């Protein structure tokens, strides 16, 4: 059963700074300047060149390339070195040059580039233990099938779960066009309950906890974080 939220979560246009520059490009140039001791006017002079080279590159690729270059052992770097990292990332994602292969995803998976995150809860009949597991699966649309030919589709996983004699399936949730992430109350119910209980006890105590705001920030971060894929039973 898909998990539905109240708000649509569609892909967004690249973020821009107040002066109209593309945020990811500005970020990459700033990191480049700091790590490789570029002159103060480098941004003003070189931004148009960077932006033209990266026009068709996704923000997340630009950000990852910046991190990789900064982690490298290079003492001196040029734009061409940065573009090498961009091409490496794009090659890993099935594209060539500075262009990622354009897969045509459906509305249920386009925000996650063909991925459908799924969570299932079941009772392991041998021990009567209730277990929640998270998996990364592909969508059933052509774009996702072409991009991830060796990845299991979410509906195939559901079929395996339903017919597994070792377990009793309690629930199955999968992301779709209305929600690109499942809430932590589904992906990690025990952890979510423990955190909520702790926060309630803090409120009931009436004490001022200076660290409570950090706990709330942690709660928000956990809610937005992709769930880690579990590798325990069932072994698919």
Q: Is the pLDDT of residue 8 over 50?
A: no
Select from 92, 121, 149 the last residue of a domain: 92
Average pLDDT over residues 56-77: 88
Cis peptide before 234 (omega within 30 of 0): yes
pLDDT of residue 6: 31
Q: Is the pLDDT of residue 132 over 80?
A: yes
Could you report the per-residue pLDDT of 160-209, keeping only the tens digit for each?
Answer: 999 999 999 999 999 998 888 898 889 988 887 887 787 777 777 776 66
Same domain? For 167 and 218 the reply is: yes
Select from 64, 92, 120 the last residue of a domain: 92
Q: Is the pLDDT of residue 100 over 70?
A: no
Q: Which residues fall within 8 angstroms of residue 119, CB to CB, at 6 or more apart?
A: 132, 133, 134, 135, 172, 173, 174, 182, 186, 187, 227
Average pLDDT over residues 63-88: 90
Q: Quote helix, strand, coil % in the chain, to nearest 5.
A: 45, 15, 40
Same domain? For 70 and 161 the reply is: no
Same domain? For 88 and 114 the reply is: no
Asked if residue 103 is part of any domain, the answer here is: no
pLDDT of residue 195: 79
The domain of 75 spans: 23-92
Same domain? For 209 and 180 the reply is: yes
Q: Is the pLDDT of residue 98 over 80?
A: no
pLDDT of residue 9: 36
Q: What is the dihedral of CA 52, 93, 66, 22, to 10 degrees?
A: 40
Interior angle at CA 15, CA 13 and CA 17, nearest 5: 145
Give the tokens for residue 109. Answer: 């998976």
Chain-centroid distance of CA 59 in Å reads 13
Confidence label for 59 from pLDDT (cuts 50, 70 and 90): confident
Asked if residue 36 is part of any domain, the answer here is: yes
Average per-residue pLDDT for the chain = 81
Q: Is the pLDDT of residue 4 over 60?
A: no
Same domain? For 212 and 125 the reply is: yes
Asked if residue 55 is part of any domain, the answer here is: yes
Could you report the per-residue pLDDT of 18-58, keeping only the tens digit for each?
Answer: 778 889 999 999 999 999 989 999 999 999 999 999 988 88
pTM (predicted TM-score): 0.54
Same domain? For 148 and 198 the reply is: yes
Asked if residue 62 is part of any domain, the answer here is: yes
Asked if residue 142 is part of any domain, the answer here is: yes
Chain-centroid distance of CA 111 in Å reads 10
Asked if residue 49 is part of any domain, the answer here is: yes
How far apart CA 226 and CA 112 sit, in angstroms, is 11
Contact criterion met (CB below 8 Å) for 167 and 123: yes
Number of structural domains in the chain: 2
Same domain? For 77 and 156 the reply is: no
Same domain? For 83 and 120 the reply is: no
Same domain? For 219 and 119 the reply is: yes
How far apart CA 48 and CA 81 sit, in angstroms, is 17
129-138: strand order across its sheet: 129-138, 115-124, 167-174
Select from 32, 66, 92 the last residue of a domain: 92
H-state helical runs in 36-77:
42-53, 59-71
Asked if residue 12 is part of any domain, the answer here is: no
Same domain? For 145 and 87 the reply is: no
Asked if residue 105 is part of any domain, the answer here is: no
Same domain? For 175 and 204 the reply is: yes
Residues above pLDDT 90, as percent of the chain? 45
Same domain? For 138 and 208 the reply is: yes
């Amino acid at each position: 059963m898909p998990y539905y939220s109240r708000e649509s979560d569609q892909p967004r246009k690249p973020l821009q700074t107040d002066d109209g520059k593309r945020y990811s490009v500005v970020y990459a140039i700033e990191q480049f300047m700091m790590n490789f001791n570029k002159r103060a006017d480098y941004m003003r002079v070189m931004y148009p060149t960077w932006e033209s080279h990266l026009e068709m590159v996704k923000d997340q690729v630009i950000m990852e390339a910046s991190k990789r270059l900064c982690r490298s052992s290079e003492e001196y770097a040029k734009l061409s070195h940065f573009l090498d990292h961009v091409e490496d990332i794009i090659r890993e994602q099935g594209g060539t040059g500075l262009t990622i292969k354009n897969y045509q995803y459906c509305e249920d998976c386009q925000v996650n580039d063909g991925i459908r995150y799924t969570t299932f809860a079941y009772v392991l009949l041998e021990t009567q233990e209730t277990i929640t597991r998270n998996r990364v699966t592909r969508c059933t649309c052509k774009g996702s099938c072409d991009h991830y030919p060796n990845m299991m589709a979410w509906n195939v996983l559901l079929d395996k779960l339903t017919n597994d004699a070792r377990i009793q399936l309690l629930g199955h949730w999968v992301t779709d066009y209305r929600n690109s992430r499942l809430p932590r109350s589904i992906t990690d119910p025990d952890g979510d309950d423990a955190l909520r209980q702790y926060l309630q006890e803090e409120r009931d105590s009436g004490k001022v906890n200076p660290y409570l705001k950090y706990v709330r920030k942690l709660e928000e971060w956990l809610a937005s974080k992709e769930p880690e894929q579990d590798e325990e039973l069932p072994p698919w």
